[in-house]
Amino acid sequence: MTSPRLTLKSLWRLYNAAQGLLENGRTRDAAVQFHRLAAARVRRSPGDSAPNWIGNNPLESRARLGLCYCYVEQGELEQALTELESVLRAEPTNPEALCELAYIHNLRGERPDAKAALEKAVHHNPESAKAHKALGYFYLQEDDLEQAITECTAAVLCDPDYDLAHVELAVALGRCGRYEDAVRAMARAVQLSPLNADYYYSLAALLREIRRNEEARGVLESGLELAANNCDLLESVAEVVLELGYPDEAIEYAQRLLRYRPNSLTARDLLGVAYLQQGRVNEALRVADQMVMLNPLEPSHHFKKAVLFQQQGMLQDALREFKVVADLAPETDMADDARQAIDSIDNHQMRQIILLASEDRVFRAKLRRDAEEAARERGFFLSFTGVMTLQSLDLDGLAAFHPESRPTVYH
């Protein structure tokens, strides 16, 4: 097939159209256009006084890099490597191609090869912000934070307006505990890309690390002005206002989050805490029940429910839920807490039962016939262990019993 002959202006128009398709996720359509561009040859523009000629395509490498991106997005790594090799044969030190080569090596678990490609990119292109940023990100993955900071700082110096370099620098600084510096770097990224809602989330997260919650709230609300349905922002701002002591606003944000994520457990957890802060225990219990229904095998949901039942004096229900916790996660600290709570509930009721039995002969007689049923008649609900303990009591010696203090209630 004869390669199409296009003017330079047409080549650039085709390249921009293919890039637009790629950025919109239409990788197969973009690949068609990049293929066409890679195969094209240059011809004289109409009206050009220069003689008619066919020249090399100055956008071929860009087209093949575009094809590489398309293939990577489609999971076709071998075809992506074929396009990269073509680019690197023509331009062995092309920084963009070397960075993409490193990315593919990384996807394939070939970390030493990825590092070598990035070091080559930086060595031959010390002015390339993208190469420095990519190497910095590699070091960040390796947990070599000082080297990551060095390379990301170099990227910022090469191109102060490169927002991703500021983002990676902020991440590295934050992981080093240099939160004030990280905040400044992330704030610069927000300034450079004010329409990127994810940057507002990251900046707020750094501010929260250093207890600047009021500022974090302002940042998150600014992000929500751009992306009102961003669930990460909604979740974070609900947490922040709850920490600041505004349960009404936390409830509002959590309910907004539920409109976009109807099955969100985090939103319900926030609602439950906010309701408790307002003293609305019944509503908190309703939310806990929803969490159990959504994920019945998560012991922490049952534990929350048990605690709320205990606070409401609904001891039978509390015992049931604490037992579920102990059964679901028997070897955990939570299960130990649940068993301790069961013992506490049993012990508290046992003292009351013993006191009543020491004063009430009829009740004492009923306890001898059927201890569990007699206790239930008086509104007491014991665990299996509690019932066994009750059945083993010396009912004839109860008159001398003196009850002790009240039990611990878990919160």
- Classify 50 as helix, strand or coil: coil
Q: Tokens 């066994």 correspond to what residue?
A: 388
Task: Point out which residues pair with 147 in neighbouring strands.
Answer: none
Q: Is 146 helix (H, G, I), strand (E, B) or coil?
A: helix
In this structure, is residue 212 part of a structural domain? no
Residue 163: pLDDT over 70: yes
What per-residue confidence (pLDDT) applies to 406?
A: 45
Residue in the block written with tokens 């004063």 = 359
Is 6 contained in some domain?
yes
Inter-helix orientation angle 299-311/281-294, to 10° = 160
Q: Copy the structure tokens of residue 380.
A: 């007491």
- Residue 53 pLDDT: 41
Q: What's residue 395's pLDDT?
A: 75
Confidence of residue 3 (pLDDT cuts 50, 70, 90): low
Long-range contacts of 406-409 (CB under 8 A, 24+ apart): 406/348, 407/344, 407/345, 407/347, 407/348, 408/340, 408/344, 409/310, 409/311, 409/344
**How many other C-beta atoms lie within 10 A of the C-beta of residue 205?**
18
Strands 5-6 and 41-42, by their bridges, are parallel
Dihedral over Cα of 37, 41, 46, 48: its sign: positive
Structural domain that includes position 15: 1-91
User: Does the pLDDT at position 145 exceed 80?
Assistant: yes
Q: Are 139 and 147 in contact (CB under 8 A)?
A: yes
Please report whether residue 250 resides in a domain.
no
Give mean pLDDT, residues 363-375. 90
Q: Where are the alpha helices (DSSP H) in 91-144?
A: 95-107, 111-124, 129-141
Element (H, E) at 340: helix 333-359
pLDDT value, residue 46: 57
Q: How many CB atoms lie within 10 A of CB 198?
A: 16
**Interacting residues of 194 by C-beta distance below 8 A, sequence separation 6+:** 226
Please give the mean pLDDT across all residues of the chain: 91
pLDDT in tens, 275-284: 999 999 999 9
For residue 179, tell me if it sits in a domain.
no
Residue 61, domain member (yes or no)? yes
Q: Locate tokens 């019932």: which residue?
A: 387
* pLDDT tens digits along 83-141: 999 999 999 999 999 999 999 999 999 999 999 999 999 999 999 999 999 999 999 99
Q: What's the pLDDT at 200?
A: 98
Do residues 253 and 267 lie in contact, with contact meaning Cβ atoms separated by under 8 Å?
no
For residues 114-126, one letter each, b for 16 or more C-beta atoms within 10 angstroms of the residue's C-beta and e for the rest, the string is: bbebbebbbeebe
Site of tokens 């004289």: 44
- CA gap 213, 328 in Å, rounded: 36
Cα–Cα dist 372/366, whole Å: 9
Asked, for residue 54, whether it belongs to a domain, the answer is yes
Q: Is residue 87 assigned to a domain?
A: yes
| 60 neighbors 107 (Cβ within 8 angstroms) | no
- Nearest residue to 83 (alpha-carbon basis) of 60, 110, 53: 60
80 within a domain of the structure (yes/no): yes
* Interatomic CA distance for residues 137 and 121, integer angstroms: 14
Tokens representing 264? 């969100």
Q: pLDDT over 70 for what percent of the chain?
A: 92
Distance spanning both ends of the chain, measured CA to CA = 76
Q: Which residues contact 138 (CB under 8 A, 6 or more apart)?
A: 102, 106, 114, 115, 118
User: pLDDT > 90: what percent of the chain?
Assistant: 80
Q: Count of domains in the chain?
A: 1
Residue 164 has pLDDT above 60, yes or no: yes
Tally of CA atoms within 13 A in the half-sphere of 174 that contains its CB: 21
203-233 tens-digit pLDDT: 999 999 999 999 999 999 999 999 999 999 9
